[in-house]
Amino acid sequence: MGLCRAFADPRRLTEPKASAFADPRRLKPAARLGIARDQGNQHHRRHPRRVDERDSQTNGEDCCMKIIRRPTVYLVGRQQLDEGQIQQFLDDHGVSNWTTDASTAGDELPEFAGRLCYMSFAKPRPGGNKTYLGHIKEVGHGSVLEHAVWNFIFTGVSRSFTHELVRHRAGFGYSQLSQRYVDESVADFVEPDCIADDPKLHEVWQSAVQHAQEAYIKLVDGLQAKFSDIEQKTQRRKMARQAARSVLPNATETKIFVTANARALRHFVELRCSEHAETEIRMVAAQVLEILQREAPNIFNDYAFAELPDGTRAASTPHGKV
């Protein structure tokens, strides 16, 4: 499976030329405790020691901690078909005239897998890929959907979000930013809208996260001094950070690489793009579904969005638990 550029709506990607894998938190500015508040719908990439021009509130200091209000989803990998090997298989089994009208690998692979189960290549039912996958969803033959896989990066999300996300185990793989190796003295923080929209509550929240980060910095400095007898510098830093992170809040921003198949993603969308889901994970699930409806329209075309009173969206389908 090859890597590709982000295929999310380009209006959601504020700086597509920047590398999704570069971690500016490895840079250590001198002044680390200023706050910039992001009021917009985008997660703007932080530049250390500089307040982004689009940030609407700062405290006048050199800033490297930013408050984030919206997550960002990057699609970085998708499957590719080997048409030659598919044709070789068909030729070897006496099927020379099978074709599909699927427009993406995500839609074609489940159809191919399903037809292999019954060797139904020679006499396909009319209606094409859309009809075939529609029938798969109707009868609940969801195992064939597990062959379509995508790779995502989620950024601008909180540790609270990832605690919920990683409960989805079957069909998912994860690689998350490490708080043992990455310096969180320049971390960003994710603020819920219901707090951000109330000036008094925002002030309480902002004070709490700022004091937590100040405590983290003091603990890291003190622990590195305490572990000064350890010769290896990397090990000394890791030991200090892994203990100091205990004071960081669930609001601490993180980044996570996610790989999942279509069946698992359907289950994720049904649980998390629901009006009953927590707001942050619902926003991510809605972005993921938008991407998947472009990547595999015939697998995900049965979901319909509905606007919720809080400005987020929920999705529903008549074909649950496929």
Beta-bridge mates of residue 74 = 153
User: Are 79 and 235 spatial neighbours (Cβ–Cβ below 8 Å)?
Assistant: no
Catalytic residue among 115, 245, 263, 272: 272
User: What gap in Å lies between CA 24 and CA 10, rounded to an integer?
Assistant: 22
End-to-end CA distance of the chain: 25
245 annotated active-site: no
- The set of residues, in sequence order, having a beta carbon less than 8 Å from that of 135 and lying 6+ positions away, is 125
Beta pairing, strands 34-37 & 63-68:
parallel
User: Are 184 and 248 spatial neighbours (Cβ–Cβ below 8 Å)?
Assistant: yes
Closest CA to 159 of 241, 76, 280, 44: 280
55: left (phi over 0), alpha (psi -120 to 50) or beta: beta
User: Are 14 and 42 spatial neighbours (Cβ–Cβ below 8 Å)?
Assistant: yes
Burial status of residue 294 (CB atoms within 10 A of its CB: 0-12, 13-18, 19 or more): middle
Beta pairing, strands 304-307 & 313-316:
antiparallel
Q: Which residues are designated catalytic?
A: 272
